[in-house]
Structures are given as structure tokens and as C-alpha cells.
Amino acid sequence: MRVVRLVSETDFPGWRAAARALRAEGAEPEEVLWTVDGAGELFAAPVPPEASSAPAFTVPRAFLELAAPVVLHRSGDRFALLYRLLRRLEREPDLLHGAADPDVARASGYARAVDRAAHKMKAFVDFRPVASDGPPTLAAWFEPAHRVTERAAPFFVRRFVGMRFSILTPDLCAHWDGEALTFTPGADPVDAPAGNGLEAYWRAHYAAIFEPARRNRPQPRLIPELVESAESRTRAMVSPHAAQPARRVVRAALRHSRDAPFEGGGPVTLEEVTAGVQACRRCALWRDATQGVAGEGPAKARLMLVGEQPGDQEDIAGRPFVGPAGQVLDRALAAAGADRREAYVTNAVKHFKHELRGKRRLHKTPDVGEVEACRWWLDHERAIVRPRVIVALGATAAQAVFGRPVPIARSRGQALQLSDQAQGVVTYHPSYLLRLPDPAAKARAYEMFVEDLKFAWSLAA
């Protein structure tokens, strides 16, 4: 296994250099692990000398035009996906013309998502004037769905060429002083206050960047008068039973909520999961949701129930399975002799995906990319709870739990082995029972649902 260590989440030059050397070696995509650690070393093992003298090769311009935005996507598989396409182009020179190809379609979807994120940043960044000596000064806080700050910043330079400005984001901060565009590390969302506090927050950042007399003076990371308000906001993210102070829990969660790879570190308590889900930006669903909805239940439950995503009522309440589907689940668990209070209940996707129809918010099924992005949270819930049995409620949950499509009708009633030594059971989602129009079919499906829950409960005993 070759391990490629890129220096940043957007290290496209590093990816190109590594991919060129790996292709010269003939390394297959499944032999390469792409990671980001900022260590500054390209490879865990030295690149063989012959790689540097390997014959040059060319790729279609369309591939480079596709790869540049894909690297800015938040998906953890983007580097591996691009290398897989690069290797396939050797054998399939017309590969990029096949829009139906799964790899091409996935990369194209990533590129479109990045383009939309850059467009939204240009359209919705809300600048506010900040008092300063000299030219007019503007500042804005924005949380892009993908890492597009560096890509979008030149647009604001052209638009506000006669003004100084800063755009603060969790990934990267862009600053224009009237002569040069510079970038600094991302700002902490926990420290970004709301309302009137923004003025003081931005003023502190400007002092550190634009006032020469203060550039060498140590700057406090937090503005003292804003610490209390930041803590009070983040404390609401944490379970009332949390043992850790709110600040430590939330900061630990935020470090991992956006960009950590699946194989990287992550939250180690359910409180950190709850806090991190609230701050999660791994996909764009957070933008239209009221809040993130993490799981709930004992930290060492024998049984874990995984649904699809929060519904309308769950999105408002901040708890899983409290709406009509949750009532069906509770009734079926009781009929199966199981106690919901002894199970850990969660969802494959933590934010409510929907579309507006008048004043109603109608459920939309999460796509594969959204399930994959949120699987990071589900994997950590599984690692913390360590259930004996995981019940996947519906096709989306089965995709998240097993990492592949699982036919519900043909797979229910069986104990399927999972890689983390748990056993998996698949069954219908309770909302499926609610949608069945025929009373007889609904009654039969409910009986099978109860049977599956009884089977899972007995396995977990």
C-alpha cells in the first residue's frame, strides 16, 4: 500500500505530482491511500528514482478542467476518484465522453457542486462596513459548502477594488488591502458571534492583519467579551448529561466535523458527536435544515437502529424518530418485546433533506454522496456504542450500514455479518408502512416489521 500525504485539503499540485509518479510506477488505484496531514512530505515511502525519469504523458485538457474543481469538494474520496480516472484514461481515452460512467458521473457531480458553492459565495456573501482609519473597510463571515474561498476571492477583488475587505470562512480567510490578495488560516465557527458581536470580532481580525503597529503584538485567539456568548451558544449543542465542559466538547467536535477523512481521528464520545453534527459541513444539507439531529440512547447499547434521515418533526425537535414514523417504530418495538430506551436510535443522514411545496416541507431521499459524507458520523457512533446488532431501517440506511445497496425484501430475516464484529439486520423503514395504501398489505408489512425487530432483539440479547 502506497500512502500519499498531501499538504492541504486543496493540494492540487501535490496530487498531480504524486499521481504522475504513481502512474509511472504502474500503481493501481486500490494500492494507493490518499491522506492530508500537512506534514509536507509527499510520500510515506520515497519515490523510486526511476519515477522522475519516466516518459512524459499527456491527458485530455477536459480531465484537468474537471480535476481542478473536484479537488475543492469535501468528499473524502475525491483524490482516489481522480487517480482512478487518470489510470482508466490510459486504457479508455474517450472515457470522459461517457457521461453515464459511474466514475465520470461522480466526478462531474462533484465539479458541479463546487461550481454551485462558488456561485453562492459570490451571490450571498454579506459584507458589513467596519470602522477603520483610511479607505472604506468591509468584512463578512461565510461558510461555503465546499472549499471555494480561494477560487471565489478574485471576484470580490474586481468588485471592491477600491476597498479593503476580509472574508472569514472556517477553511480559509481572504484579505484584500487594496494592493494584494492574501490568505490566512480559517476562522473558528465557535468564535464567530452573531448579531452585534460581529463588529468587535471583525475589528479584531482587521487589527491583526492591516495595522502594522500591532502585527507583532500577540493577539488573543478569543475576544474576552465574546467568550461567554460563544460558550452559551455551543452549550446548547451538547447533551445535558455531558460530563465535559461545553467548550472542550464543541471544539473537539469542530476539529473533525468538516473535513476529517474516514480513516482519521474523530469524536470519542456521543456528546462530541452531538456537538459536531450541529457544526457539520461535510455536505450542503445543513443549509436548509433547522438543526442537525444526532442519535440518542445508551452509550453502550446492545441494539442500534439506523433510519434514513430526520423528518420534519425531528428537524424541529432535534431528536430522531419522534414523528409519525417514530410512533410506528415505538409501537412495533413494544410488540416485539424490545425497549427503545435500551437501544441507540440514529439516522444515516443527520440533516433533513426536503423541498418546499407551498408551506410544507416534503421529504427528499438523500443521494449517495450525502449518505457517504454522513457515514463518517455513523461510523463513529458505531465505534462508540459498539452494538451487537445494527438494524438498517430501509434502503438508505442499509447503504450506509453495509456500504453497498442491499435488497430489503430478499435480505430481511437474516443475520448479516458486519466488519466491526456486529451483526446486521435489514427491514422496512416505518415510513414505508405509513405510505402503503392497501390496509391488508399494510397489516402484513407491519407484522413482518415486528418479526424483524423481534429477531434483532433476540440476537442482541
CA distance 5 to 36: 5
| Strands 172-176 vs 181-185: parallel, antiparallel or unpaired | antiparallel
For residue 112, the model assigns a pLDDT of 92
Stretch among 128-137, 188-197, 285-294 having the lowest mean pLDDT: 188-197
Nearest to 429 by CA among 399, 457, 404, 385: 399
Once rounded to an integer, what is the mean pLDDT over residues 19-44? 77
Percent of the chain exceeding pLDDT 90 equals 50
For residue 222, the model assigns a pLDDT of 32
For residue 358, the model assigns a pLDDT of 79
pTM of the model: 0.51
Q: How confident is the model at residue 18 (pLDDT cuts 50, 70, 90)?
A: very high
Strand order in the sheet with 303-307: 343-347, 303-307, 389-393, 423-427, 416-417
For residue 203, the model assigns a pLDDT of 52
The predicted-structure confidence for 86-98, as pLDDT tens digits, reads as follows: 999 988 988 988 7
Locus of grid cell 504524486: 18
Average of per-residue pLDDT values in the chain: 81
For residue 440, the model assigns a pLDDT of 94
Half-sphere exposure of 461 (CA within 13 A, CB side): 10
CA angle at 60 for the pair 59 and 66, rounded to the nearest 5°: 105
The predicted-structure confidence for 256-270, as pLDDT tens digits, reads as follows: 555 454 444 578 899
Q: How confident is the model at residue 204 (pLDDT cuts 50, 70, 90)?
A: low
Tell how far CA 205 is from the center of its chain: 27
Q: How confident is the model at residue 429 (pLDDT cuts 50, 70, 90)?
A: very high
Stretch among 27-31, 184-188, 267-271, 430-434 having the lowest mean pLDDT: 184-188
> Is 334's pLDDT higher than 80?
yes
Top mean pLDDT of 34-38, 136-140, 383-387 is at 383-387
Once rounded to an integer, what is the mean pLDDT over residues 341-347? 97
DSSP structural state of residue 191 = G
Once rounded to an integer, what is the mean pLDDT over residues 300-319? 94
The domains of the chain, with CATH numbers, are 2-120 (no CATH), 125-215 (no CATH), 287-460 (3.40.470.10)
